[in-house]
Every structure is written in C-alpha cells, then in structure tokens.
Amino acid sequence: MAAVLVVLGGVGWAASTSTAPPGTPDAVAGVEEDIVQDELSGEQAQEIARYLERINQDLGGRLPPTTIRDWWEVFRGRKQFDWGALGQALLSYFLGAMLVNLRLLGQLVVLAVIAAVLANLQAAYEGETVARTAWTVAYLLILVLGLAGFHSAVSLARGAITDLVGYMLSLLPVLAGLCVAAGAVTTAGILSPAMIVAVHAISVLVADVVLPLVVFSVVLDVASNLGEAARVTQLAELFRSVATSTLGILLAVFLGITAVSGAAGAVVDGVAVRTAKFLSSSFIPVVGKMFSDAVEVVVGTSLLVKSVVGVTGLLVLVLTVALPLLKLAALVLVYRLAAALVQPLGAGMVADTLASMGHGLTLITLATAAVALMFFLAASIMLGAGWISMAFR
C-alpha cells in the first residue's frame, strides 16, 4: 500500500508541473523534463557531483564528464565519454606516484649496498667489531625507512576506507530515494538500513582487525630476519591466513545478505506498482487510463534518472578507491623492486625484510580493494533492484 501511495503521489506531482494539455506528447515530455531536472539538481545528486569534482582536481582536471548533467547527456547520446582520456589520466596519476616514491627506492638501494659492503668487510676481517656495528646501523636505517613507508601505506589504506564509507553513506540515500521514486519502496526500506549497518561493520572489521593482523605479520617477519635463534615466521603466516580468511568470510556474508534482501524486496515492489496501475485504470472513471499511463511515465522516467545517477555514483565509487589503490600499487612496486635489486648484492637479510614489507603492502592493497568491491556490488544490487521490480510488473 505504501508503494501505491508513493506512485500515485508522484503522478499527481508530475501532472501539476505540466502546462500542456494532458495526454499530448508535449505534456509527457514536460513531465519527463521536470522529473529529470528535479532529480539532477537535488542535494543528494549534488553530493555525488562534489565527489566527482574532487576526483577531477586530483587528476589535474583531465576527467571527462565532470557534472551529473554531463553524465545525463552521455546516457542520452548527446555527448561522448572519452575512455582513453580517463585511462591516460589514471596512468599519469600512477606515474606521478611512482616518481614520488623513487626517492625512497634510491635510499633503500644505497643503504642496502652499504650494508652489503660492510657485511663483506666483516667476513673478511673475521667479525671486526667496527664493521659489525656499522652494518647494524645501516640495517637499522633501512628498517626505519622501510617501516616509515609501510606506516604511510597503512594510513593511506585507512583513509581510503574512511572515504569509501563517507561516500557510501552519501550514495545510499540517493539510491534509496530513487528506488522509492521508481516504486521500489520495500527494497529501499529493507536494503537501506541493512546497507548502513553493513558498511560500518565492514569498515570497522577491516580497519581494526584485518589491517592490524597484516601489520603484525610484517613485524614478526622483520623480527625473524634479525636472527636465526628466535624465528616466528609460522606465527606471521598464521596472521596472514586469518586476515585473508576474514576478508573472504566478510565478502560472502555481505553479498549473500544484500542479494537476498534485494530480490525479496523487488518482488513485493513489482506487485505494488502493478496494483497501483490496476487500481488507477479500473476504479477511476473516464481518466483512469490516462492516470495509469501517467504512472508509467513517472515510474519509467524516475527509473531512467535513477540509472544515470546510480551509474555515475558507481563510477565515482570506483575512482574514489582507484586513486589510493594506485598509490599503494606504486609503493608495492617500489618495495618489490628494492628487494629484487639488493638480493644480488649479497644483502639477503635486507632483501628478505623488504620482500616481507612488499608482501604486507600487497595484502593491505587487496584488503582495501575488497572493501571497495563489496561496496560496489552492494550499490549495484540496490541499483538493479529497481529494474527487477519493473520486470515483475
């Protein structure tokens, strides 16, 4: 019944904004344009536009369509989306991140060379105390630089997850409101609270459980490389296994709940919208058929706008996480390169330490990407729920 009232209310609003005679093509076009203008200029759609503008600034102003209206024109076929320009912008962003981290790579390699020379001197002079002390100092400097970069990567991942949560909390009202406009009231009522709880739960578990486990595993690997007497590599491997298993369980549970909730709500919504059309065409004399057609116009146009805003929101979600992921990927590449370059020099301990940090950064990058994937699929399910309810009509 709630869905019926919402749809009928939307029809009354749409009819009141049109000045052309009812039933004419101009009247239908006027209703559609009023719906489009109202949705695209709303506060929730503009919130997505603000995120889009911030991403455009991070990419140096090279992002194709930069406003919600531009994306509407793209979907209408009036403008073209330049995928090549987007790819070039992301590539330039990645290369810029690599250039920033080249200094860290150079410092690690130089210190590793010094450590290797000192290790050879120590072996030549049968454990010379001065050479041993100098090697220890060089190794500690490598640890300080490596762990500093690792800490910045963890902070970057936490910041990316926080940004994702903030954006999802801005995107969910958009999708829920447009679901209601399309007649998917039950879907919006079921999914919105579930999504809000799930978004917070996922972010807390990943940031406060998964990431610390990865950090602990790296610390244990580094401690194991300091000496052969006390090695805890198996404990480090256990922490990594728990972290990856936790991510897998979260992904399965999250997607299972959202998929089932979305499908169940869509069935109810499809029946409700069809009931609204039936009631309006059967029990309203004379103008019943026209009123039923108005229901179709309002629901169809709202669903089209919902698709444009929703797909734009999904793209913004991808770009929101893509930029920090590119920075993390650049750091992973730096640590992997440093480990590969210093190993032939005879600095095996240094190479193992850098390789452990690179492995930890890879897991952190995958954890951040997994959170983004869960949010992306959840938003896609909510976006597609409207289409399912329309199909059931």
Question: In the predicted model, what is the mean pLDDT of residues 62-76?
Answer: 72
**Has residue 41 got a pLDDT over 70?**
no
What pLDDT is attached to residue 376? 86
Question: In the predicted model, what is the mean pLDDT of residues 138-165?
Answer: 88
Q: Which range is least confidently modeled, 13-22, 107-116, 280-289, 374-383?
A: 13-22
Question: In the predicted model, what is the mean pLDDT of residues 192-205?
Answer: 81
What pLDDT is attached to residue 122? 63
**What is the separation of C-alpha 49 from the centre of its chain, rounded to a whole number of angstroms?**
16
Question: In the predicted model, what is the mean pLDDT of residues 363-384?
Answer: 85
**Dist. CA 150–CA 156, nearest whole Å:** 10
Question: In the predicted model, what is the mean pLDDT of residues 289-306?
Answer: 58
DSSP 21: P
**Has residue 33 got a pLDDT over 50?**
yes
Percent pLDDT > 70 in the chain is 64
**Dist. CA 1–CA 185, nearest whole Å:** 10
User: DSSP for 237-304?
Assistant: HHHHHHHHHHHHHHHHHHHHHHHHHHHHHHHHHHHHHHHHHHHHHHHSTTTHHHHHHHHHHHHHHHHH
**Has residue 312 got a pLDDT over 70?**
yes
Q: Between 28 and 148, whose confidence is greater?
A: 148
Pull the structure tokens for residue 115: 């450590």
**Dist. CA 388–CA 267, nearest whole Å:** 8
Q: Which residues contact 269 (CB under 8 A, 6 or more apart)?
A: 3, 183, 184, 185, 186, 187, 385, 389, 392
Question: In the predicted model, what is the mean pLDDT of residues 119-123?
Answer: 66
User: What are the sequence ranges of the domains in the chain?
Assistant: 151-391
Q: Which residues contact 5 (CB under 8 A, 6 or more apart)?
A: none
What pLDDT is attached to residue 306? 65
Q: Between 389 and 235, whose confidence is greater?
A: 235
What pLDDT is attached to residue 252? 83
**Dist. CA 152–CA 378, nearest whole Å:** 29
What pLDDT is attached to residue 157? 93
Whole-number average pLDDT of the chain = 74
Band of residue 324 on the pLDDT scale cut at 50, 70, 90: very high
**Dist. CA 206–CA 161, nearest whole Å:** 9
**Has residue 254 got a pLDDT over 90?**
no
What pLDDT is attached to residue 390? 57
Rg for the chain, CA atoms, rounded: 28
Pull the structure tokens for residue 222: 């580094």
Question: In the predicted model, what is the mean pLDDT of residues 293-316?
Answer: 68
Cβ(107)–Cβ(337) below 8 Å: no
Cα angle vertex 210, ends 206, 215, to 5°?
130
User: How would you label 232-250 residue by residue, b for 16+ Cβ within 10 Å and e otherwise?
Assistant: eeeebeebbebbbebbeeb
From 188, 194, 191, select the one nearest 176 (Cα to Cα). Answer: 188
**Tokens 């344009």 sit at which residue?**
33
Pull the structure tokens for residue 118: 């000192």
Q: Between 51 and 76, whose confidence is greater?
A: 51
What pLDDT is attached to residue 188? 66
What pLDDT is attached to residue 214? 92
